[in-house]
Chains A and B, each alone.
Chain A
Amino acid sequence: MLDPTSPPDLSNASVDGASPPLPLELRGLVYETGGKRLIDNIDARIEERGITVIMGPNGAGKSVLLRLMHGLIPPSRGEILWAGRRADRELARRQAMVFQKPVLLRRSAAGNIWHALGLRGIDWSERPARVEEALRLAGLERLAAVPARTLSGGEQQRLCLVRALSLEPEILFLDEPTASLDPASTLLIERLLIKAQRQGIKVIVVTHDVGQARRLAQDVIFLHHGRVIEHGPAKVFFDQPRSEAGRAFIAGGLVL
């Protein structure tokens, strides 16, 4: 569990000479908007191991926390450190994110991956192979030329995931990637995530699906009202949750 089966691909030029960006440390993190405190003084340290699952009821601040970590929104207070270093453009390029609602461009399935590679500055000569590989990974080879937005919900989210993976990120964020998918589509996504993790990608996924968290997590952060209520190994959290809210959540009860 601690050791990925294969190391991350270090041939990528953007990685050369860079220090590994983990652990991820959150220090006194606060996010306020419109007079509401959505993230309330979070301290956490996410290590370089396994899949980290961020759980919690609706409105706990899960998506906001993910966006803060990915740098899409700036914190009101506090710090986010990647291996002791503040996030910058170079670090951002080593990350990718999959959103709850698939965001696909008005282009073909292949065109979506191609464009993402272009935005990351991947050379033209390298793109066809990466596009092909990504489509194969998603099982969408035969739909390469189909307008992406006419794909089914499951296919769209798979495309978003392999588009993110085609960028060869070291950190992959996912915000409720299977929230509106059927079990078969969910399974395909989860398999891809486990595969990505085994290839050395740090996966941080937000979910409120306890079953999914049990299947994926090695590390659990349980959020409630913008605070970290519990953070630790998945086994510990699921077997002996320390908090009342955690117990209720795992039991499928209502957490207020």
Chain B
Amino acid sequence: MEAPPGLKYSKEHEWVSTEDSLATIGITDHAQEQLGEIVYIELPSVGEKVSKDDPFGVVESVKAVSDIYAPVSGTVVEVNEDLAESPEVVNEDPYGDGWLIKVRVSDPTDLDDLMDNEEYEQMIAREKEE
């Protein structure tokens, strides 16, 4: 699945969709495909602060443990509680029901450092070549 337009992407394979200062964050289809079947997700609680480029949670597949990095700084206002019971939703619908957290962005200029879908696709293509 190609990265949908309209979202912003990080080098660490997170996506961000923003509405005013509210950012919804998830991992990309490429990331879930590389991880394989996701069996456990650890997320922060509502009210916690996340800092750009710092890990805010963990995704575990059968084989791998991966940190999830915050693409923006802010305060967590909502967590996808359904993932505790059904982490596989991130595999099935990474850009939809598999979203991870919603964050009130503290510095909107954080978003300027992120890629658009075409830049992200190009980055994946370069990684595959290496």
- Physical interaction between A and B: no
